[in-house]
Amino acid sequence: MEQVAESLGVLADGTATHAGNYFVANYPPFSVWDRNGASSATSRLAKPGDAETPLGLYVHLPFCRKRCDFCYFRVYTDKNHNEIEAYLDAVVREATVLGRQPFLGNRQLEFVYFGGGTPSYLSSSQLVQLFKGLSTALPWGAPVEIAFECEPGTLTRSKLEAIRDLGVNRLSLGVENFDDAILEGNNRAHRSKEIYRVWEWLGQTGFEQVNLDLIAGMIGETDGKWHRSVAETVRLAPDAVTVYQMEIPFNTTIYKGMRESGASAAPVADWPTKQRWTREAFEALEGNGYSVGSAYTAVRDSSRIRFVYRDQLWDGADMLALGVSSFGYLDGIHYQNEPHIEQYIAAVARGGLAVSRALPISREESMIRQFVLKMKLGRLETQPFRDRFDVDVTERWGDALRLFQDHGLLKFNRDRIDLTREGLLQVDRLLHAFFLPEHTNIRYA
């Protein structure tokens, strides 16, 4: 009950945006993964995996035109052509070694996600060579989904055609905002004219689904500017829209400025304002035929649009990691590759794998991981937890669920849990109430 009360206390009092991670991307927290566990991941790769468990792949392409002030990913803006080529060679070499591991057995990749950084920063010829290398090295087959992140200013029509021809069927466009002053003020590389130019090309090239990203609460955001961005999104009518609420992790440029100035709160909107803006975006999208599918996403046709990477990973799929600082999951073992490009390339040159830290998790932690991630969908069936883990989650966390229900954040019975819109808009704050005690008051990442 104490950790539940603390969670509600944060909801009530923590309105300003302070430094630290808000978004719960995994469990247990990244801060408890360590180098001592790295051998557990390599050892697991040396044994056959479960053929019934979906297998995916995450590829990290860390190059960008500029580093956004709010970015907390491993990115590089100073690498020349030869350095990028050396990195891509290392990724293919790592994939070749991975492809020989018994863990893959006769399994086929069901989803592939290219993240960054900016995957579309690469040239068309580099992308062709990368895909050729990966599809040769790994059991590529015909993945259900190949997702690919893009920044508008890095795209041309011919590059879009090349990306489509490589099999990408989910293109995610990092628009973030349509206001040029906000884009410039947050050190974003593109401007609105590049968004509109790309959108015309997208209409001509034809991808199965296009997702558009927005961020609620960037520096300089106002009601009027946000409403215009939402209206423009509705007008363009992408297949899916992802809305993130701005957070300020410790490794961002914004936090560096806060630390130098002695500021305790970030120069961005507070949490109630960001939640209101996200609510308004969802309501506008719902008014135009979209349905809200998670705490962050709305889709135009839920019968056709899927996000396989998210749904399978959150349901316990295995995922291989390729590239610097990339994250993977192997049958109950979290792992991450070397966090710096020089060390990553050197590790691959030595032996082909570049695991830097890992964490084998218990059956209980695996159950909690699946529970907190699936709660982000806004609805959760309880029977799968009884079947898979022999746990009745409504009994395990009955006190927390009742308290959240009393505060209008969710409704539940023995069969299912449904978050209200108010609960969904701040679900990442609620999730800490379901962590084990040793994970509730530590740094998340």
Contact criterion met (CB below 8 Å) for 105 and 67: no
Contact criterion met (CB below 8 Å) for 361 and 334: yes
The backbone torsions φ and ψ at residue 260, rounded to the nearest 5 degrees and listed phi first, read -70, -30
Tell me if 347 is assigned to some domain.
no
Is the pLDDT at 38 greater than 60? The verdict is yes
Average pLDDT over residues 275-288: 98
Share of the chain above pLDDT 70, in %: 97
24 and 51 in a common domain: no
From 5-9, 41-45, 287-291, 436-440, the region with the lowest mean pLDDT: 5-9
239 and 383 in a common domain: no
238 and 115 in a common domain: yes
125 and 232 in a common domain: yes
- pLDDT recorded at residue 419: 98
Strand-pair partners of 172: 149, 211
Is the pLDDT at 86 greater than 50? The verdict is yes
- pLDDT recorded at residue 10: 44
Average pLDDT over residues 125-150: 98
User: Which amino acid is it at 275?
Assistant: Q
Is the pLDDT at 11 greater than 50? The verdict is no
| Rounded CA separation 126/158 (Å) | 14
226 and 100 in a common domain: yes
Is the pLDDT at 3 greater than 60? The verdict is no
148 and 180 in a common domain: yes
Q: Is the dihedral of CA 117, 375, 302, 142 positive or negative?
A: positive
Is the pLDDT at 5 greater than 80? The verdict is no
Query: What is the per-residue pLDDT across 65-75, written as a single tens digit (0 to 9) for each?
Result: 999 999 999 99
Angle in degrees, 0-180, between the axes of helices 81-99 and 124-137, rounded to the nearest 10: 20
Element (H, E) at 8: helix 2-13
- pLDDT recorded at residue 12: 45
Of the pLDDT bands very low, low, confident and very high (cuts 50, 70, 90), residue 7 is low
Strand-pair partners of 116: 61
Average pLDDT over residues 115-126: 98
Tell me if 191 is assigned to some domain.
yes
List the one residue out of 80, 60, 89 whose CA is nearest residue 349: 89
Max Cα separation, the chain?
59
Number of separate domains in the chain: 2
Is the pLDDT at 62 greater than 80? The verdict is yes
Q: Which of 286, 312, 338 is the last residue of a domain?
A: 312
Tokens of 226: 């946000």
Bigger pLDDT: 306 vs 7: 306
Contacts for 39 with CB less than 8 Å, ≥ 6 apart: 358
101 and 10 in a common domain: no
Range of the domain at 146: 32-312
- CATH number for the domain spanning 439: value is 1.10.10.920
Of the pLDDT bands very low, low, confident and very high (cuts 50, 70, 90), residue 352 is confident
Is the pLDDT at 48 greater than 90? The verdict is yes
pTM of the model: 0.96
Contact criterion met (CB below 8 Å) for 318 and 56: yes
192 and 172 in a common domain: yes
Distances in Å between the Cα of 132 and the Cα atoms of 55, 61, 125, 166 are 19, 16, 11, 9
9 and 84 in a common domain: no
The mean pLDDT of the chain is: 95
* 174: preceding bond cis by omega (within 30 degrees): no
Of the pLDDT bands very low, low, confident and very high (cuts 50, 70, 90), residue 164 is very high
263 and 389 in a common domain: no
Tell me if 258 is assigned to some domain.
yes
Tell me if 438 is assigned to some domain.
yes
- Rg of the chain in Å (alpha carbons): 21
Tell me if 319 is assigned to some domain.
no
* 28: preceding bond cis by omega (within 30 degrees): yes
Tell me if 105 is assigned to some domain.
yes
Which residue shows structure tokens 């936090």? 255
Query: What is the per-residue pLDDT across 209-258, written as a single tens digit (0 to 9) for each?
Result: 999 999 999 999 999 999 999 999 999 999 999 999 999 999 999 999 99
| Rounded CA separation 292/279 (Å) | 10
Query: What is the per-residue pLDDT across 173-191, written as a single tens digit (0 to 9) for each?
Result: 999 999 999 999 999 999 9
11 and 101 in a common domain: no
Chain-centre distance for alpha carbon 32: 19
Is the pLDDT at 87 greater than 70? The verdict is yes
Q: Which of 288, 312, 336 is the last residue of a domain?
A: 312
Which residue shows structure tokens 């009745």? 392
Is the pLDDT at 78 greater than 50? The verdict is yes
Tell me if 83 is assigned to some domain.
yes
291 and 259 in a common domain: yes
- CATH number for the domain spanning 144: value is 3.80.30.20
| Rounded CA separation 129/109 (Å) | 19
Tell me if 373 is assigned to some domain.
yes
Q: Write the DSSP symbol of residue 246.
A: P
